[in-house]
Amino acid sequence: MSPILTDEAVVLRKTDYGETSKIVTLYTERGGKISGIIKGGRSEGGKRGRVLDPLNLVQVAYYDKESRDVQTISSADLLEGRRRLREDPLATMYAFAALELTLGSTTERDPNPRLFRGLKKILRLFEERREPPSTTTARYFAFFLGEIGFELPTERCAVCEKPLGAEVGYRSTRGFACRSCVDREGSFAPFPAELFAELVSLKSGNDAADERTFSGRRALRFLEQYMGAHAENYRGLRALEMANDLEQEQ
């Protein structure tokens, strides 16, 4: 008989399956990304079906069978719901972008406890509303890149390896270069100083130095371009497109 495992998880996605069940994709603390079936999850009053809504932090127990792509979930308890977050459609869409990034750019059964903790923390930041939701998503995106092996170097010059100053150049195949190397090599394009400062701030986990000029959307555009240049299967985030549409309507 398959062992029953208990783990904390963030719910990434939930879809209908058959007439009575649902399939959920979870990012768990110890098991990484897994898919599970909730039998009877579509039935009227099905508690587990509601507990396992995307964005929720849950405690799940499931039968772990490595030969199966979809595990059977035996129980699920809500640890943190996102009621306040869901009251804000724009923030919700930006939060879904963080889920979509995790869903599409991680592999099944590849545990990363640090990534799990980062995702859990960022969802709490969305709930607290301490900064614009676009900034929160950009903060997670910058962190996520490092966790999947595409670290965005913002500390040292890609050419001479000396510490970078405020004025830098950028080349997609090399990264950031200091002003001296930009002038000497000629193959690096000038990079906006404000955007570079934003990227440094996001990676450090600090608050935006000047919220009047800080643009999470601008940082996200660059981070998506960077991801696309390094991850050949990356095709963008639909949730970000929808968030942009919402912002234009407001």
Confidence band of 205 (pLDDT split at 50, 70, 90): confident
Confidence band of 39 (pLDDT split at 50, 70, 90): confident
Whether the per-residue pLDDT at 45 is higher than 80: the answer is no
DSSP string, 3-69: PEEEEEEEEEEEEEETTTEEEEEEEETTTEEEEEEETTTTSTT-HHHHHT-TT-EEEEEEE--TT-S
* Helix ranges restricted to H, the chain: 47-51, 83-86, 89-104, 113-128, 133-147, 179-185, 193-204, 216-230, 238-249
Half-sphere exposure of 1 (CA within 13 A, CB side): 4
The pLDDT of residue 47 is 65
Average pLDDT on 79-86 reads 95
The pLDDT of residue 91 is 96
Contacts (Cβ under 8 Å, ≥6 apart) of 161: none
User: What three-state secondary structure class fits 212?
Assistant: coil
Domain(s) of CATH 2.40.50.140: residues in the chain: 1-81
Which CATH number is 1-81's, of 2.40.50.140, 3.40.50.620, 1.10.340.30, 2.40.50.100?
2.40.50.140
Q: Dump pLDDT digits (tens) for 233-248.
A: 999 999 999 999 998 8
Just give the CATH number of 82-150+192-250. 1.20.1440
The pLDDT of residue 226 is 96
Q: What pTM did the predictor assign?
A: 0.93
Of 12-16, 209-213, 215-219, which one has max mean pLDDT? 12-16
Which CA distances in Å does 219 have to 9, 121, 136, 179, 240? 28, 20, 11, 21, 12
Domain(s) of CATH 1.20.1440: residues in the chain: 82-150+192-250
Q: Tokens for 39?
A: 């039998």
Average pLDDT on 153-166 reads 96
d(CA 118, CA 113): 9
Q: Dump pLDDT digits (tens) for 14-29.
A: 998 878 889 999 999 9
